[in-house]
Amino acid sequence: MMKRPASDRGYEKVAHLYDLFDQKENIAFFSQYASCVEEILDIGAGTGRIAIPIAEQGVAVTCVEPSPAMRRVFQQKLTQFPHIRDRITLIADDAHSFDAERTFPVAFLSGTFDHLLDDDERRTSLINIGRHLIPHGVIVFDIFLGLMKDTPLSPAGIVQNGEREFRRFTASRSLPGEMQETQLVFETYHHGRLTERVEDRGLVGVTDRARVHSLLRETGFVVKAEFGDYQRTEFHDGDSLLIMEAEWLGGASGRHPLGGGSWSVSND
């Protein structure tokens, strides 16, 4: 099967509805990493859902985003935040090939690692991200484990916005090569009448914790912490969310990215 390019992993038709439904409470989680540095790298930044609040804290955010539709929504949102415009750089590329021509103390991927479809893509992406980190720089990313379940098209949320109601439906099926396709259907109703129906097919790769550990080791990272939720609760076997925090050891020693003697963000 032909692998779909990173620019088309399921957002082209539905990007304008993304923020309505992605209400993951992880902005505070990723912002903690930004609070200790002056600049940060957001890979798979999407609509800027996390990058914009971080830039509002005064931190410069370099964003990498391969989907043209997501970048359009991001750019459109930025017109409402002229005061942070010079703190955001948006690069049209993907995790394994982007070149920001500089290094950062922290890189994060929110909801992006799952879109890396096989170990080759995960490995080249981690190597490329490492290349963009200062020595002892930190990478943080979340992964949804156990994505292999097949499910029929079912309701997956309703959002009321003024006179309009948005309904989302999802279905998943496993594809050969440890990939999972998610069918996404969005319906918009105005005064109860269906006015728009859009459908897209998302693509994610299925992996597990042991393989991610091994890929991180192979690409010069050492795991520093693993969480099972965005409140920084320690990961336990059986958790469906795994958040990895790892330090890049691939280079020579250098300035500590998060300041002080301990590089980890505190649990307080």
State which residue, 36 or 45, has the beta carbon closest to ligand SAM: 45
Burial class of residue 262 (count of CB atoms within 10 Å of its CB; 0-12, 13-18, 19+): exposed
Name the minimum Å distance from CB 204 to ligand SAM: 9
Are 186 and 167 in contact by the 8 Å Cβ rule? The answer is: yes
| Closest to ligand SAM by CB, 35 or 135 | 35
Name the minimum Å distance from CB 116 to ligand SAM.
6
The closest alpha carbon to 71, from 101, 44, 42, 97, belongs to 44
Shorter beta-carbon distance to ligand SAM: residue 64 or 138: 64
Binding site for ligand SAM (CB under 6 A): 6, 9, 11, 22, 43-46, 49-50, 64-67, 70, 94-95, 110-112, 115-116
Taking the least distance from each CB to ligand SAM, the nearer of 43 and 244 is: 43
Shortest distance in whole angstroms from residue 142 CB to ligand SAM: 9
Beta strands in the chain (DSSP E): 39-43, 60-64, 88-91, 104-109, 133-144, 151-161, 164-175, 179-190, 193-205, 221-227, 241-248
> Measured at CB, which residue is nearest to ligand SAM?
46
Q: How far is the CB of 215 from ligand SAM (least distance, A)?
A: 15
